[in-house]
Structures are given as C-alpha cells and as structure tokens.
Amino acid sequence: MGFELDIFEDKSLESDYLEWLVDTQLVEIQKHFSRLWDYYANPKVETSGTGAADRKVNESGRCYVQAQEYGLPARITGMVHSGRAGIFGARPVNQVQRKEVVIENDIAWRVNAAVDFLFGRPVTIVSKSPDQPKSAEIQSIIKALFAANGDIGFFQDMAVLGSVYGFVDCFVRPGDKIIERATSSSSQTLSADRRYAGSLDDVLQFAQAIDLELIEAPRALPVLEENDYKKIRYYVQHFGQKKNTLSRKNSFLARLLSGGTQSADNRQVVAVTEITSADAWQRYEDKQLVAEGKLPWGFLPVVHVQNIAQPYYYEGLSDVETLVPLQDELNTRLSDRASRITFQSFKMYLGKGIEGFEDKPVSPGRMWYTDNPEASIEEFGGDAATPSESLHIAEIREAMDKVSAVTPIVAGVLKNKLGNLTSAVALRLTLMGMLSKNERKQFTYSEGLRKICRMVLEILDIANIYKTNEADRDVEVIFPSPLPENTMEKLKEAQIKKELGVPSEQVLRELGYENS
C-alpha cells in the first residue's frame, strides 16, 4: 500500500513524491553521508571468506580491510570498489598484486579535537526571563531536561554528528503523557497567579520525560518550503529498525539501510517511515500505516542545526567532506612509502660462482667455501633517503591543517619550531584559525540550543505544565574558554568588572559559578 496522507489535510503533499524520496532519493543521500561517516570512523571489515576478493586481500598478510581503502588506487589495493557498496563491492584486478596498505586516519582526531574545543567543558544555559524567581525555575527545568538526555554527552554527540555530516537535527519528543495533557479537553488553563500545576518537582519530572533525539543525516528526508529553504514543512525519516526476531529474508535490507557499511545479520528488519508536520504525525512499517495522531503544538518539533553556516543550502559545511581528497592522497603516499620500504629496507645478496648458494642461509658467523677464483657475493638493496617523498607527505599534512584549521598543537603535539608558548597572546595567535572556526560553531550550535529550550518551554506551556511567555523562553548559552587560563588573572579581571558595575551574577557566571 502507498502513503495515506488524509490526516495532514494538505493536497500539495503527494504520496508519489514521498515514495520517490524514500525509494530513490534516500539511496543517494545514504551513499553520500555514509561515506562521510566511514571516513570519520574508518571501520575495519574482516575478510575471512574464500572469494576472489578475499584471497586478494589475504595476500597482504592482514585479515581485514578498512573503509578508507575506498579512496586508494587499484595499483595499491589490487581491487576496484563499486560506488554504491564501497568496500563491500570490491572485485580483484587481474595481474595486479595487492601492495602494503597504510591507513592513517587524520580525519578522526581532527574532528574529535574540534568537538573537545567546542563542548570539552560543560556549557551554561542562563534564562533571560525578567522575573528572577521564574528565571531560576526555568534554569532548573532546562538543567533537568539536558541531564535526562545525557548532559555533556548529548552536546558532544550533537557536535560529532554535525561535524561529520555538516548538520544535525534534534527531534523533540514530549511523550504520550504530555501530549495527552495538551490535547485533553478537561485540562484547565492555569490562572495568572500560578506558574505550574502541582509542585516544581512535578514539572521537573515532566521535563525529564521529554526525549531529545538526534537524527543522523542518512535517515533524514526533510520536505522544505519551495520558496524558503530555511523552513521545513514536513520532516520525513526512513530507517531500518531491527527486531528481536530472526529472519533470513531481510539480511540485504539491513545492509542497504545501514548504508552498506555494516555486515548484515539475521535479525528481522522493518523499514520504518515517519512523517511529521506541525499538526499531525504518521508511522509506517514496510509502507503499512501502523500509527498516526494529531499534534497540539502548532509547530514542527524539529530543530535544525548547521555545523558551519552555508547559505542557500539546508546542509551546513562538513568538516570531513573537505578533508576526504587530502586523506586519500596521504594514505596513497604512505602506502607507496611502505611498499618501497618493504623492497629496499632489507639487504639482498647476489652470489656468483658458489655452488648451492641459494640453499645456504645468510647469518652471522657463517662462511662459504669454493674453488672458483671468480666467485663473489654482491650486496644490494637497503633503505635510501627520499627527501621529495617526505616533503610531499609533510605538505599534505600542512594542507590538512589549513583546511581543517586543526593543527597538531590542538591535540597536544608540540614541535620545536613553536618556541615558548607561555604567553596567552602567543598561544591565541598560534591557534587563531581554530579559535575563529570554533566561534563560528558556537554561534550555530548556541542558536540550536536556544531553539530547543524555547520549544520545550512552549510545549510545557501548551500542556499547562509550566506557564511562560515569549520573553521567559529566551535563554543565553555561555561557552567556557577552551584555552588553559590563569586563575589569578581571571579573578583580577572579574574584580575589575565588578568595580565597573557589572552585575555580580554575570561575573560569577563568567567564572563558571552557577547562581543557585
């Protein structure tokens, strides 16, 4: 059966278009985004089979291949990879022997270092409500919300997904109890002198029940406004959900829906499609409608966060995508160097005029005897300096530093050329590119967190759990400095700010002390 879209009451939403998204467009989306994740995680796959490709791989002495081998030329791997299946679609190349394969994942540590810079320390979310008692309550609600969803782990997961894919979507799921309160005809509007029903502890329990689900890019199919790419009309998700039952029929489906990067198992997999609008939602399993309902919010409960803002595109800029060509070049040159070392680093000997020389081992203390006066042993091989090769590899690494703005010093790798970095100004100048990029990310991610907080507070208001207005729902996200700081200098700076009339609450927040 096709999609039954009567609940949305929108004639412009056609089932044929949704089927095209799920059946055709999703394949290209998964191909693109799954490749980015593979270059970040670089998973390895064991090759224990007996096929031609497995025999070709096993000639290298290793029983696995890595995802980043997809970008290596066939003259190194001895295999050609298909565009759709990646390393799973490898087929051997005739008369090409697999050489030494070296993969150095320079992408992962750069992404992780950027995430540590952004969310390595807890962020502070401060309510900007003009009512001070209400502001303290809102901060408690927000703190309970994020604590129930992983706290700093939630922020770091958000940053990793955004850095790899270029964007991350957060689906706010209030839960059945909150939806029932919002849609119940018996729920009464709170009076003006009451902020919440019951006690504050009850409100905190409702806030903890709200699920903030991070949606990975390969399963997201947003339907945007035709005249405004910034607005989402419908949010469609399509993914494979594994069940706790066995089925041999869906092994290929499990592999397809996982982007072709994971080995399939025998668990039953159901193709789930979720369609959500501002007023209603539907859930399909294998294109069969299994559940639907109305939403009382009046807005789409999805917050879209770009990693780095990119105009005229729904997706932001990915930190991984720009590094893929350089990563391929680096792995190629490292593999070439490994092959050269394999052939040149060991000395070899050419014996002339010595009977049975090929059967005699070369070892210390061994002597050969011959009556042939023209007999000789010639030594050749051995490693030789290749300055152009080393220079080329170093230039590739420097290019990756420029593109990513993440230099080895961010990961704690110091070199002699950096000199003395005891000065805070010198350290900031050294990390200027990283700090500038981090500030750009702070803007996009802080806007996303502010939207999540406003959306949650509005949901609690509509459900008559905690009453707020537009001014109450505004918050400020404060990021701590990622650089090591001198405590005494910070205290002196805070003292000067207080003498200039800066409110004590703001000074304490900047020092990292929450006003409880």
Asked whether the beta carbons of 296 and 458 are under 8 A apart, the reply is no
CA distance 130 to 115: 33
Distances from the Cα of 357 to the Cα of 343, 350, 361, angstroms: 21, 9, 8
Q: Specify the pLDDT at position 516.
A: 45
Low-confidence ranges of the chain (pLDDT < 50): 50, 185-186, 261-262, 516
Q: Residue with structure tokens 């059946």? A: 23
- What DSSP letter does each residue of 248-271 carry, written as one string? STTHHHHHHHTTT-S---SEEEEE
Q: Other CB atoms closer than 10 Å to residue 166's CB: what's the count?
A: 23
CA distance 354 to 85: 54
Q: HSE (CB half, 13 Å, CA atoms) of 319?
A: 30
CA distance 33 to 94: 31
- For the chain, how big is the Rg over CA atoms in Å? 30
The one-character DSSP state at 447 is H
Q: Specify the pLDDT at position 113.
A: 92
387-404 vs 106-119: helix crossing angle, rounded to 10: 30
pTM of the predicted structure, to 2 decimals: 0.83
Q: Other CB atoms closer than 10 Å to residue 332's CB: what's the count?
A: 17
Q: Specify the pLDDT at position 28.
A: 92
Distances from the Cα of 96 to the Cα of 92, 296, 352, angstroms: 8, 63, 32
Host H or E run for residue 290:
strand 288-294
Closest CA to 109 of 181, 39, 14: 39
Give Cβ neighbours of residue 387 (< 8 Å, ≥ 6 apart).
none
Tokens of 414: 């110091």
Residue 45's beta-bridge partner residues?
A: 65
Host H or E run for residue 462:
helix 432-462
CA distance 99 to 77: 6
How many angstroms separate the first and last alpha carbons of the chain?
56
Tokens of 479: 């990021």
Distances from the Cα of 164 to the Cα of 1, 112, 216, 305, angstroms: 36, 10, 10, 13
Interval 148-207: pLDDT, tens: 999 999 999 999 999 999 999 999 999 889 998 888 744 566 665 667 777 889 999 999
Closest CA to 301 of 361, 371, 213: 213
Residue 284's beta-bridge partner residues?
A: 273, 289
Say if strands 475-478 and 124-127 run parallel, antiparallel, or are unpaired. antiparallel
26-41 vs 324-344: helix crossing angle, rounded to 10: 50
CA dihedral 26, 167, 297, 192 (to 10 degrees): 170
Host H or E run for residue 275:
strand 267-276
Q: Specify the pLDDT at position 323.
A: 95
Distances from the Cα of 317 to the Cα of 128, 163, 453, angstroms: 31, 8, 24
CA distance 449 to 166: 17
Tokens of 439: 């500030």
CA distance 218 to 382: 49
Asked whether the beta carbons of 209 and 181 are under 8 A apart, the reply is no
Give Cβ neighbours of residue 7 (< 8 Å, ≥ 6 apart).
280, 282, 292, 294
The one-character DSSP state at 463 is T
Q: Specify the pLDDT at position 372.
A: 86
Interval 216-258: pLDDT, tens: 999 999 999 988 888 999 999 999 998 888 876 655 555 555 5
Asked whether the beta carbons of 474 and 128 are under 8 A apart, the reply is yes
- What DSSP letter does each residue of 115-161 carry, written as one string? HHHHHSS--EEEE--SSHHHHHHHHHHHHHHHHHTTTHHHHHHHHHH
Q: Specify the pLDDT at position 375.
A: 85
